[in-house]
Structure 1
Amino acid sequence: MGRLATFSKKPLALFWLLCVSACSMVQAEDHNIAYKLLQKGEILSLETILQINHKQIPGEILQVELEREKKQLIYEIEVLNDNGVVWKYKIDAKTAEIIEKEQD
Protein backbone atom coordinates (compact mmCIF):
# COMPACT_ATOMS: atom_id res chain seq x y z
CA MET A 1 0.00 0.00 0.00
CA GLY A 2 2.82 2.37 0.80
CA ARG A 3 4.51 1.59 -2.51
CA LEU A 4 1.35 2.36 -4.49
CA ALA A 5 1.05 5.74 -2.76
CA THR A 6 4.69 6.53 -3.56
CA PHE A 7 4.23 5.53 -7.19
CA SER A 8 1.20 7.79 -7.63
CA LYS A 9 3.13 10.79 -6.31
CA LYS A 10 5.88 10.50 -8.94
CA PRO A 11 3.69 11.51 -11.91
CA LEU A 12 2.33 14.40 -9.87
CA ALA A 13 5.84 15.53 -8.95
CA LEU A 14 6.89 15.27 -12.61
CA PHE A 15 3.84 17.28 -13.66
CA TRP A 16 4.72 20.09 -11.21
CA LEU A 17 8.34 20.06 -12.33
CA LEU A 18 7.24 20.47 -15.95
CA CYS A 19 4.88 23.29 -14.97
CA VAL A 20 7.63 25.14 -13.13
CA SER A 21 10.02 24.66 -16.07
CA ALA A 22 7.43 25.94 -18.53
CA CYS A 23 6.74 28.99 -16.36
CA SER A 24 10.47 29.73 -16.17
CA MET A 25 10.76 29.57 -19.96
CA VAL A 26 7.79 31.93 -20.37
CA GLN A 27 9.29 34.39 -17.89
CA ALA A 28 12.64 34.29 -19.69
CA GLU A 29 10.88 34.92 -23.02
CA ASP A 30 8.89 37.81 -21.49
CA HIS A 31 12.14 39.30 -20.19
CA ASN A 32 13.71 39.04 -23.66
CA ILE A 33 10.72 40.74 -25.26
CA ALA A 34 10.79 43.57 -22.71
CA TYR A 35 14.54 44.01 -23.23
CA LYS A 36 14.10 44.26 -27.01
CA LEU A 37 11.30 46.82 -26.60
CA LEU A 38 13.52 48.86 -24.27
CA GLN A 39 16.45 48.72 -26.72
CA LYS A 40 14.18 49.93 -29.56
CA GLY A 41 12.96 52.83 -27.41
CA GLU A 42 9.38 51.57 -27.44
CA ILE A 43 9.21 51.48 -23.63
CA LEU A 44 10.93 53.15 -20.70
CA SER A 45 12.74 51.02 -18.16
CA LEU A 46 10.90 50.14 -14.97
CA GLU A 47 13.56 52.11 -13.07
CA THR A 48 12.79 55.23 -15.12
CA ILE A 49 9.04 54.75 -14.68
CA LEU A 50 9.46 54.52 -10.91
CA GLN A 51 11.81 57.53 -10.75
CA ILE A 52 9.33 59.69 -12.64
CA ASN A 53 6.38 58.57 -10.50
CA HIS A 54 8.06 58.04 -7.12
CA LYS A 55 5.83 60.56 -5.32
CA GLN A 56 2.62 59.17 -6.81
CA ILE A 57 3.52 55.53 -6.10
CA PRO A 58 4.59 55.30 -2.45
CA GLY A 59 5.10 51.92 -0.82
CA GLU A 60 6.56 48.49 -1.43
CA ILE A 61 6.30 47.06 -4.92
CA LEU A 62 4.69 43.63 -4.85
CA GLN A 63 4.38 42.77 -8.53
CA VAL A 64 5.10 44.25 -11.95
CA GLU A 65 3.81 43.09 -15.31
CA LEU A 66 4.31 44.51 -18.78
CA GLU A 67 1.19 44.01 -20.88
CA ARG A 68 -0.17 45.10 -24.23
CA GLU A 69 -3.65 46.63 -24.08
CA LYS A 70 -5.23 47.93 -27.28
CA LYS A 71 -1.84 48.39 -28.99
CA GLN A 72 -0.50 50.26 -25.94
CA LEU A 73 2.22 48.85 -23.69
CA ILE A 74 1.30 49.16 -20.02
CA TYR A 75 3.18 48.50 -16.81
CA GLU A 76 0.81 47.08 -14.19
CA ILE A 77 2.35 47.68 -10.79
CA GLU A 78 0.93 46.44 -7.48
CA VAL A 79 2.08 48.41 -4.44
CA LEU A 80 1.54 47.88 -0.72
CA ASN A 81 1.29 51.28 0.94
CA ASP A 82 2.18 52.20 4.54
CA ASN A 83 -1.42 51.59 5.66
CA GLY A 84 -1.36 47.99 4.43
CA VAL A 85 -3.54 48.71 1.39
CA VAL A 86 -2.63 47.24 -2.00
CA TRP A 87 -2.98 49.59 -4.96
CA LYS A 88 -2.78 48.66 -8.63
CA TYR A 89 -1.37 51.22 -11.05
CA LYS A 90 -1.51 51.08 -14.84
CA ILE A 91 1.25 53.19 -16.36
CA ASP A 92 1.95 53.91 -20.02
CA ALA A 93 5.28 52.17 -20.64
CA LYS A 94 6.38 54.75 -23.22
CA THR A 95 5.40 58.02 -21.51
CA ALA A 96 5.32 57.05 -17.79
CA GLU A 97 1.82 58.55 -17.52
CA ILE A 98 -0.34 56.99 -14.81
CA ILE A 99 -3.43 55.82 -16.68
CA GLU A 100 -5.31 54.17 -13.85
CA LYS A 101 -5.05 53.73 -10.10
CA GLU A 102 -7.34 51.42 -8.17
CA GLN A 103 -7.43 49.74 -4.82
CA ASP A 104 -6.87 46.03 -5.24
Structure 2
Amino acid sequence: MDWRFRERDLAARDHYFNNPNEAMQYVFEHPDFKYPGGESNQEVQERGIRALRDVISKYQGKRVAIGIHGNIMTCTLHCSILTENLISTFGKGQQSRIFIN
Protein backbone atom coordinates (compact mmCIF):
# COMPACT_ATOMS: atom_id res chain seq x y z
CA MET A 1 0.00 0.00 0.00
CA ASP A 2 1.40 3.36 -1.01
CA TRP A 3 0.37 6.33 1.15
CA ARG A 4 0.51 8.59 -1.89
CA PHE A 5 -2.74 7.06 -3.18
CA ARG A 6 -4.66 8.35 -0.15
CA GLU A 7 -7.52 10.77 -0.72
CA ARG A 8 -6.68 14.44 -0.87
CA ASP A 9 -6.98 16.82 2.03
CA LEU A 10 -9.23 19.58 0.72
CA ALA A 11 -8.53 21.62 3.86
CA ALA A 12 -7.50 21.25 7.49
CA ARG A 13 -9.76 18.90 9.43
CA ASP A 14 -11.25 21.76 11.45
CA HIS A 15 -11.99 23.93 8.38
CA TYR A 16 -15.70 24.46 7.79
CA PHE A 17 -17.22 24.87 4.32
CA ASN A 18 -20.64 26.47 3.95
CA ASN A 19 -20.96 24.73 0.60
CA PRO A 20 -18.52 21.81 0.14
CA ASN A 21 -19.58 21.20 -3.48
CA GLU A 22 -18.85 24.81 -4.36
CA ALA A 23 -15.46 24.53 -2.63
CA MET A 24 -14.61 21.43 -4.64
CA GLN A 25 -15.68 23.08 -7.89
CA TYR A 26 -13.47 26.07 -7.09
CA VAL A 27 -10.30 23.96 -6.69
CA PHE A 28 -10.97 22.25 -10.01
CA GLU A 29 -11.35 25.62 -11.71
CA HIS A 30 -8.18 26.92 -10.00
CA PRO A 31 -5.70 23.99 -9.91
CA ASP A 32 -3.00 25.87 -7.95
CA PHE A 33 -5.37 27.12 -5.25
CA LYS A 34 -5.54 25.40 -1.88
CA TYR A 35 -7.58 26.00 1.24
CA PRO A 36 -5.76 26.38 4.58
CA GLY A 37 -4.21 23.04 5.52
CA GLY A 38 -5.24 21.45 2.24
CA GLU A 39 -3.71 20.40 -1.05
CA SER A 40 -4.13 22.02 -4.45
CA ASN A 41 -5.26 19.91 -7.40
CA GLN A 42 -1.77 20.37 -8.84
CA GLU A 43 -0.18 18.94 -5.68
CA VAL A 44 -2.62 16.01 -5.63
CA GLN A 45 -1.97 15.32 -9.29
CA GLU A 46 1.81 15.37 -8.85
CA ARG A 47 1.58 13.03 -5.85
CA GLY A 48 -0.64 10.59 -7.73
CA ILE A 49 1.50 10.64 -10.87
CA ARG A 50 4.70 9.97 -8.90
CA ALA A 51 3.03 7.04 -7.14
CA LEU A 52 1.59 5.61 -10.35
CA ARG A 53 4.90 5.92 -12.20
CA ASP A 54 6.62 4.08 -9.35
CA VAL A 55 4.04 1.28 -9.55
CA ILE A 56 4.49 1.04 -13.32
CA SER A 57 8.26 0.87 -12.92
CA LYS A 58 8.21 -1.62 -10.03
CA TYR A 59 5.65 -3.99 -11.54
CA GLN A 60 6.41 -3.63 -15.25
CA GLY A 61 4.94 -6.52 -17.20
CA LYS A 62 2.74 -7.66 -14.32
CA ARG A 63 -0.95 -7.22 -13.61
CA VAL A 64 -1.62 -4.54 -11.02
CA ALA A 65 -4.84 -3.37 -9.38
CA ILE A 66 -4.89 -0.02 -7.59
CA GLY A 67 -7.78 1.05 -5.40
CA ILE A 68 -7.89 4.80 -4.80
CA HIS A 69 -10.45 7.46 -3.94
CA GLY A 70 -12.24 9.42 -6.64
CA ASN A 71 -10.69 12.83 -6.14
CA ILE A 72 -7.06 11.76 -6.40
CA MET A 73 -7.97 9.45 -9.26
CA THR A 74 -9.61 12.33 -11.14
CA CYS A 75 -6.63 14.64 -10.59
CA THR A 76 -4.08 11.97 -11.51
CA LEU A 77 -5.80 10.71 -14.64
CA HIS A 78 -6.48 14.25 -15.81
CA CYS A 79 -2.82 14.59 -16.72
CA SER A 80 -2.16 14.03 -20.42
CA ILE A 81 1.51 13.32 -19.71
CA LEU A 82 0.41 10.31 -17.66
CA THR A 83 -1.67 9.02 -20.57
CA GLU A 84 1.29 9.37 -22.92
CA ASN A 85 3.50 7.61 -20.36
CA LEU A 86 1.11 4.67 -20.09
CA ILE A 87 0.96 4.35 -23.88
CA SER A 88 4.74 4.46 -24.20
CA THR A 89 5.14 1.99 -21.32
CA PHE A 90 2.73 -0.61 -22.66
CA GLY A 91 2.78 0.25 -26.35
CA LYS A 92 -0.07 1.15 -28.64
CA GLY A 93 -2.48 -1.68 -29.26
CA GLN A 94 -1.23 -3.78 -26.34
CA GLN A 95 -3.56 -4.77 -23.55
CA SER A 96 -3.08 -2.61 -20.50
CA ARG A 97 -2.14 -4.41 -17.32
CA ILE A 98 -2.87 -1.50 -14.97
CA PHE A 99 -6.34 -1.42 -13.46
CA ILE A 100 -7.43 1.55 -11.38
CA ASN A 101 -10.63 1.59 -9.38
What TM-score comes out, normalization by structure 1 length? 0.29
Q: Compare the two structures and name the one with the higher helix fraction.
A: 2
- Normalised by the length of structure 2, the TM-score is 0.29
